[in-house]
Structure 1
Amino acid sequence: YWDPEYVVKDTDVLALFRITPQPGVDPVEASAAVAGESSTATWTVVWTDLLTACDLYRAKAYKVDAVPNTNDQYFAYVAYDIDLFEEGSIANLTASIIGNVFGFKAVKALRLEDMRLPVAYLKTFQGPATGVIVERERMNMFGRPFLGATVKPKLGLSGKNYGRVVYEGLKGGLDFLKDDENINSQPFMRWKERYLYSIEGVNRAIAASGEVKGHYLNVTAATMEEMYERAEFGKALGSIIIMIDLVVGYTAIQTMAIWARKNDMILHLHRAGNSTYSRQKEHGMNFRVICKWMRMAGVDHIHAGTVVGKLEGDPLMIRGFYNTLLLSHLDVNLPQGIFFEQDW
């Protein structure tokens, strides 16, 4: 699984891991172990390897660099043959790349920093349902950024008072208001009540301002059937946009993205839950990778962070997130944390 002479193919899926080996474990050995566990290997040698072309299907760790300003961390570059992955499935991709490998004994800590997805693989995914140009056309708003906000308090309002906040915010100059990540269908306000009052607020604000307005309706629910029902009701009320939370899972996200495209709706993703694995600098996963996966999955936009406010973020890192989400071609930019050239 260690092959420093390996020549990377255009069709390879590439991953960059930040590896902290256990004391006494060679970084090359740890990198090879990560490549093996995330592809064909297990904890021991098995004779059944001889039943297939294992040399083809083995991931190859082909480069290991020390992380600057550390004494026990290394960047490991790993290449995966494209045939290791099911077409158009984030769930299958993640089952390999971030499956069992993060609990591997050879490493003290492991973080997925970046990936390069080949065009041949990207073409098997839907991608964003509409995109920013279509959104601007629907909002009839050009030449300036959209201005939006989240309803607060996010929990506890009745449906009628929630709709009042939507109306006041939009009438005051906002283009959008939105549900927050944890407003779904609680006893104090069921989802249908919220939808009805929110859209009433939108329509009244449109009439008062003469501008196109909108409200992100959170359709996150316990089952896909319930999410479909909420999305269909939002569409029937005339909403142009719905939203889901990252915590619904990769399969549900892809499924709702397909629904949004078929139904000509904009789909927003709230990144709820990402910091449980993206905030630690030595273990977990960089949010940059989530940005790439969600672009593949087909959401139109996602919370990507800010350099002000209550959440952590530095300017270069956040700019890297924005570029990852917006640009059609990414060049290597190490200050922004972009380790691979990426053609979308």
Structure 2
Amino acid sequence: MQQHRIEADYLLETPDDPERVAATIAGEQSSGTFVRVPGETPELLERAAARVEKLEVIERFTGARALPTSTPTPAGESLVRARLTLSWPLATLGPSLPNLMATVAGNLFELRQVSGLRLLDIRLPQPFAAAYPGPKFGAEGTRRLTGVKGRPLIGTIIKPSVGFSAEDTAALVAQLCAAGIDFIKDDELQADGPNCPFNERVAAVMREVNASADRTGKKPMYAFNLTGDVEEMKRRHDVLLAHGATCLMASINSVGLAGMIELAKFSQLPIHAHRNGWGYLSRHPLLGWSFTAWSKIWRLAGADHMHVNGLANKFSEPDDSVIASARACLEPLFADKPCTVMPVFSSGQGVTQVPGTYAAVNTTDLIVTAGGGILAHPQGPGAGVSALREAWDAALQGVPQADYARTHPALQSAMEAAA
């Protein structure tokens, strides 16, 4: 019988002996505790304990610890940073994403021997592929629903983020549809408040989207934020189906992993997974998660699109991290079940980031959402849509953006406004 194992890679910092700390982490996250207990026999350890598969010391140095810890570092004594790989037998938890989360990212972060710990990657055995649906739509299904081929989906976010009524929102959507936009989304802060109730917003927006589709044959995809408890999401999902919507959005840190798994079970629409809150899981370089590891869980749970931030963004994330995140979305998870999702570029995006984005990712399986980059165009939202599409046309044709802009006024104006 094949003995499947789960593997996880970590970046570890400790003032202690790294081999002893690695063994402590393995014990804490499997069969051990702070003292040896009756019943923890050699046979049980062989069958159920986590194993230290690899420990590679990267550097020894003196200086400040990355994070506070109750283990003191004597003056002049060095700290150690190392790459650690642990593995667990699948038989102890089964192919369960919630229990996987508790295993690879549970109490280990607060161990006092640890002054820094970041989960870099996970590798899951085949039974996980059979246990979860993965994306139902991904890039192929999203392109089928929008009719967009050979280029990224050009999108925007309703701005102001909150404050519009349902009819205000629909009026802006009408302008965007007339401009030929591919994708629109609610801001994650727009939910189901009395100023813009979900059901009213869906009815008003889809009236414009469906009317545009009847006129032009092109139906923009609108991702409605249905974030809520599971029963609320089910009701809102059915409202979307009734009005002919083609996408939903959920704030995945808010609905939680179990909520996402349930949403994917009943959803008949692509799931646009918004990662708001990602910073508290990732911003410190020696604490929390890498996007590569974290995104694998949500991809397998059923996300079709995942936010990755954007180049030269308004937040703190550097460009190389954004590109690594986008590539992670497109990296197959299993040989027979890729679970690839469309990366969503957002956060302060506009025409100026397009050449660098395409050069770095070399794919068109992207959704590019520009809020202010479209809506604040000097000639209005319609010109903003044209400008972003023209910027991508130039990149895909290998034409310098400045040269292309000479014969494309909307792009020229957007470049001047961004300068």
TM-score normalised to structure 1 length: 0.86
Show CA shifts across 1:166-221 (max 9, x none): 22122223111101212111231111111111112212332454422121011101
Go from structure 1 to structure 2 and tell me whether the alpha carbon gap of 1:292 and 1:215 turns closer, same or farther (over 3 Å shift): same
Number of matched pairs: 317
Map 1:1-344 → 2, pairs under 5 A:
11-21=4-14, 23=15, 25-50=16-41, 53-67=44-58, 72-87=80-95, 89-221=96-228, 223-246=229-252, 247-260=254-267, 263=268, 265-328=269-332
For residues 173 and 165 of structure 1, what CA distance do their matches in structure 2 show?
13
2:183–2:220 CA contact under 8 A, matched in 1: yes
Asked if 1 retains the 8 angstrom alpha-carbon contact of 2:225 and 2:250, the reply is yes
Amino acid at match of 1:239: A
The residue type equivalent to 1:143 in the other structure is G
Task: Give the Cα separation in 2 of the matches to 1:66 and 1:232.
Answer: 53
* Distance of aligned partners of 1:49 and 1:320 in 2 relative to their CA distance in 1, 3 Å threshold: same
Question: Which residue identity lines up with residue 57 of structure 1 in the other structure?
Answer: A
Deviation at 1:107, TM superposition (A): 0.8
Secondary structure of residue in 2 paired with 1:122: helix
- How much does 1:16 deviate? 0.9
> Structure 1 residues 170 and 69, CA, compared in 2 at 3 Å: closer, same or farther?
farther
Shift of 1:160: 0.6
Q: TM-score, normalised by structure 2?
A: 0.71
Contact persistence 2:312–2:319 (CA under 8 A)? no
The percentage of counterpart residues that share the same residue type is 26
Whether contact under 8 Å (1:126, 1:296) holds in the other structure is yes
* Contact 1:16–1:76 (8 Å) recurs in 2: yes
SS class of match (1:215): strand
Q: Tell whether the 8 Å contact from 2:169 to 2:201 is kept in structure 1 after alignment.
A: yes
Q: Which runs of 5+ in 1 are unaligned?
A: 1-8, 337-344
Q: 1:230 to 1:124 in 2, by over 3 A?
A: same
Q: CA deviation at 1:42?
A: 1.3
Distance of 1:124 and 1:225 partners within structure 2: 23
What is the identity, as a one-letter code, of the residue corresponding to 2:184? L
In structure 2, the CA distance between the partners of 1:139 and 1:68, relative to structure 1 (3 Å rule), is farther
Change (3 A) 1:83 1:193: same
Offset of 1:330 from its aligned partner?
9.1
Distance 2:42 2:334 in 1: 40
Whether contact under 8 Å (1:171, 1:208) holds in the other structure is: no
Aligned amino acid, residue 177 of structure 1: I
The one-letter code matched in structure 1 to 2:174 is Y
| Structure 2 alignment gaps of length 5 or more | 62-78, 336-359, 361-419
What's the Cα RMSD here? 2.3
